[in-house]
Structure 1
């Protein structure tokens, strides 16, 4: 039994067998160094009798890579990781999140300082720009960025050379946010977290992901894209959004486990399911006995919409009336499920599952407590102020851009099919007549609602995804005016006017010229002259920034 080569603060004896790998030796050296530094800092916790064992258990449950990557000069950060992992053990403590400002170091000459594209306002820009030769006022990242790691390792090996380099080249510091998250480990967790950070407008500069031996995660991100003075707000937003992801994962897990349990007990899913192309009636199939109905939200000739719960999660349940089930309605139902089960975006209503076994045909989605844009407009009996209009329009445009990028046309875009959640985020709903576009220009069936319909669709001509852009232009007008398009005409009269007379909604005189230009481009008779949603999003964001 021998101790590590360096002086140890630990009473722990370690057996270094000849075959033991170098990385394992380094892990123990890091453990010892962290322990020494914590005691040098007079951290009270480090003096407790059981602390050595607890710290070693922390390093042992994490991969060796954690010890090799962590910045030992910031031993306090190891304690922070230990506490977050401990907090994540308690379901009420998940997700455990720490957000702080960190100061990144880079040594380069002034002409080579790399600019960073940050979406900050004046004050934040001033804070985040590179600035040379200032004393650190914030800690470095727990694991360092690539440039920080290079300096730390080189400093350990050739201190004198580094001193020469630093004296010759100014040190520049840059402020960013470091986000540390601990929760239950699960498949695709890292992908979900990175996607969420991106959706919040954060740019990930560094990422370090670790899984413990007992099923927990420790993920650390260094990001820019959030105002430096709003660190606490960033934490609040992250806790809320990650909790949503966790809740959705739990709901899905319950559904998956329920289906697997049915299969184990021999209760196969009923063979009379509505045929779902390519789906195999997979884990999205819901047992209707698990749904709890609370209140009816709406009714139409072919079905009803309810608010309910599914495993404690508020949901919307769209139920088809079996007495009205014909081949067209069955086809629409099948198509809606087949599309919704494949898509996931922050501006598209989230699909939870469906029951495809007659007579209980239903689709279950997230419940949107804010109601529809149509309801909101007609409740206030006026259009939205431009800042709010642009915010909502950007949500819709981003959702439509995602759908089109995935080859999906909505074909019934209107204010009534745009729903809001409790945070005012708009999500696209109702995919009953949506279609996957196999190739451009092949669709000819008349579908959608006349007042929002593109002229080529009304005329039964071949059309493509640009038909949605025309409808979006009408939606923009709806949000601007708060009125029903062509309110003095019947739907059929409006359709005839759009096709034969080039009729378009009248744009109010007070409208900003750039917004008028966007509306008119969306309404072009020639679909090829209409912009893509990616361009529309950029135009709306530009208008919003003015």
Structure 2
């Protein structure tokens, strides 16, 4: 296929250096590469043959490049050129790829995984707003993304959101004159797919993206994967029946504007496609909520960047736990000077915790009791923690815990058989072991 649409020639190996494979999967490979002429790193995506059903590999790449070029804006990943050559770190035939921005901060998904929970509130609300800005721009350009999820929202050096992965994007063929905007190709990630998408006759429309945005909002606010233990068959059965992510995971009193965000996500995942708000309507909500937290953004971002650059710095003295009070504002809706620092701290979801060595056993035991529900859900390396307790866990109990198939089951058994009746000493020992093996979880919960 000739590359006549592009003013510049495809980039070849002679312009590229320092190839590094960033990731691979069913879609193909993504490489980090230094562009010799540009003087900075770029990312090159090469699709695997057959990744898009019924579309030849070369055409799929050109479609994705066309859509990226059409959707070029501040909140969408930038396209630089097409690639034509053989990646030197793999023995392959001549291939074509897309040369695009390299986002060294990863994705929203990788950030949530690293934090083991949600970002500080100002960053949470900024991400929500910037994703809505990017998606609104795509829809204005008559494009459907069709695969919106945390791993497809990449992060700039300053943690701004950029929408990526247009492999499933299609032009909305009837966007100008009909509500029936078809793409002709099914796809997407099933946890972010709307109920109607599980029907065999479904043809995607822009309401697909609006539903996905609602689920993505829930993921960012909670820091969790929706339906974490459900496989495709269960999701495909239950979502059309009305199941949605658990809103009990969200305490709507913990941040100013959070109630509005929860209301928005519920509107976006409405079972009726036509009832889901347009992204222009979403922007009105997210911009208003973000305006209440702007003064905390720089501090929040700097704290996250510091942790990303130096993962062990201040590890035992800071946490990103949810505050229990709303922001207090004056009658003029401006933050009073006296309360500015406190407002920043609240809007960051940030609090200073007492170092573990200074906490008395009673405080540790109180933490273990109060956080029971969350700990049962979120502790992953249970047996490592149990091993630290040594003879505090009876040998019979150890066998029962070990026999449980899930982390949640192991934690329930530990609480039932040991922690419930173990007293402050045992609970304090459990706290110390948890702090050792899952420090970020303890920090997130304010311990």
Cα displacement string for residues 136-184 of structure 1 (whole angstroms, at most 9, x for unaligned residues): xxxxxxxxxxxxxxxxxxxxxxxxxxxxxxxxxxxxxxxxxxxxxxxxx
Residues 416-459 of structure 1, C-alpha deviation per residue, up to 9 Å, x if partnerless? 00000111111000000101112142335321010001122221
The equivalent residue for 2:55 is 328
Q: Is the 8 A contact 1:288 1:360 kept in 2?
A: no
1:303 aligns with 2:25: no
User: Residues 284 and 407 from structure 1, CA distance in 2 versus in 1: closer, same or farther, beyond 3 angstroms?
Assistant: farther
1:362 to partner: Cα distance: 1.0
- Whether the aligned pair in 2 keeps the contact of 1:284 and 1:341 (CA below 8 Å) is no
Q: 2:221 aligns with which of 471, 480, 490?
A: 480
Task: Answer 1 or 2: which has greater strand percent.
Answer: 1
Asked if 1:503 corresponds to 2:243, the answer is yes
Q: Is the 8 A contact 1:347 1:395 kept in 2?
A: yes
Equivalents in 2 of 1:339, 1:416: separation in Å?
Answer: 19
- State the partner residue of 2:189: 449
1:359 aligns with 2:94: yes
Question: C-alpha distance in 1, partners of 2:80/2:250?
Answer: 44
In the alignment, the residues of structure 1 paired with residue 53 and residue 183 of structure 2 have an alpha-carbon distance, to the nearest angstrom, of 22
Counterpart in 2 of 1:518?
A: 264
1:292 pairs with 2:17: yes
Write the distance in 2 (CA, Å) between the matches of 1:432 and 1:536. Answer: 25
* Structure 1 unaligned spans of 5+: 1-272
- Closer/same/farther in 2, CA of residues 410 and 302 from structure 1, 3 Å limit: closer
Alignment of 1:93-132 (within 5 A): none
Distance (whole Å) between structure 2 residues aligned to residue 323 and residue 437 of structure 1: 23
Q: What displacement does 1:300 show?
A: 1.1
Give the match for residue 425 of structure 1.
160
Change (3 A) 1:326 1:526: closer
Unaligned runs of 5+ in 2: 86-92, 253-257, 293-447
C-alpha deviation, 1:289, in angstroms:
2.6
Matches within 5 A, 1:335-414: 335-355=63-83, 359-414=94-149
Pair 1:317-2:44 in alignment? yes
In the alignment, does 2:229 pair up with 1:494? no
Deviations 1:271-290 (A, max 9, x none): xx3x66xx545426323431
Deviation string for 1:460-515 (max 9, x for gaps)?
4244211101001111111011111111210231122111x111101124123222
Question: 1:360 & 1:406 partners in 2: Cα distance?
Answer: 29
Q: Offset at 1:540?
A: 0.8
**Structure-1-length-normalised TM-score:** 0.47
Q: Which has the larger radius of gyration?
A: 1
Please list the CA deviations of residues 495-539 of structure 1 after superposition, one character each: whole Å capped at 9, or x if unmatched. 22111x111101124123222211110011111111111111110
Separation in 2, partners of 1:450, 1:494: 7
Corresponding residue for residue 302 of structure 2: none
C-alpha deviation, 1:341, in angstroms = 2.4
SS in 2 for 1:314: strand
Matches within 5 A, 1:7-406: 273=1, 279-283=4-8, 285-310=10-35, 311=37, 312-321=39-48, 328=55, 330=57, 331-355=59-83, 359-406=94-141
**Residues 29, 47 of structure 2: 8 Å contact kept:** yes
CA distance in 1, matches of 2:23, 2:61: 18
Per the TM alignment, residue 355 of structure 1 is displaced from its structure 2 partner at its CA by 2.8
Q: C-alpha displacement at 1:323, in angstroms?
A: 9.6
Separation in 2 of the partners of 1:413 and 1:514? Answer: 21
Does the residue aligned with 1:395 lie in a helix, a strand or coil? helix
> What are the Cα deviations for residues 77-107 of structure 1, in whole angstroms up to 9, with x where unaligned?
xxxxxxxxxxxxxxxxxxxxxxxxxxxxxxx
Distance (Å, rounded) in 2 between the aligned partners of 1:282 and 1:308: 22
Q: Which residue is equivalent to 1:537?
A: 283
Using CA pairs below 8 Å that are at least 6 residues apart, which structure has the higher relative contact order?
2
Specify the SS of the correspondent of 1:467.
Answer: helix
Aligned to 1:468: 209
CA contact (8 A) 1:284 1:352 kept: no
Structure 1 residues 356, 308: CA separation in 2 closer, same or farther (over 3 Å shift)? closer
Task: Report the number of matched residues.
Answer: 270
Partner of 1:171: none
Alpha-carbon distance in structure 1 between the residues aligned to 2:173 and 2:9: 24
2-side partners of 1:448 and 1:363: how far apart?
Answer: 20
Identify if the C-alpha distance between structure 1 residues 466 and 339 changes in structure 2 by more than 3 Å, giving closer, same or farther: same
CA–CA separation in structure 1 for the residues paired with 2:274 and 2:48: 40
Question: SS where residue 371 of structure 1 aligns?
Answer: coil
Equivalent residues of 1:444, 1:457 under 8 A apart: no
Q: Which residue of 2 aligns with 1:144?
A: none
TM-superposed CA distance for 1:347, in Å, is 0.4
Question: What SS class does the counterpart of residue 103 from structure 2 fall into?
Answer: coil
Going from structure 1 to structure 2, the CA distance change for 1:528 and 1:324 (only over 3 Å counts) comes to closer
Q: Secondary structure at the match of 2:21?
A: strand
Instruction: Decide whether the 8 Å contact of 2:108 with 2:154 is kept in 1.
Output: yes
Q: Do the aligned residues in 2 keep the contact of 1:341 with 1:353 (CA within 8 Å)?
A: no
Q: 1:321 to 1:516 in 2, by over 3 A?
A: closer
Taking structure 2 as the reference length, the TM-score comes to: 0.57
Whether the aligned pair in 1 keeps the contact of 2:10 and 2:84 (CA below 8 Å) is: yes
Provide, for residues 112-155 of structure 1, a one-character-per-residue CA deviation record: whole Å limited to 9, x for no partner: xxxxxxxxxxxxxxxxxxxxxxxxxxxxxxxxxxxxxxxxxxxx
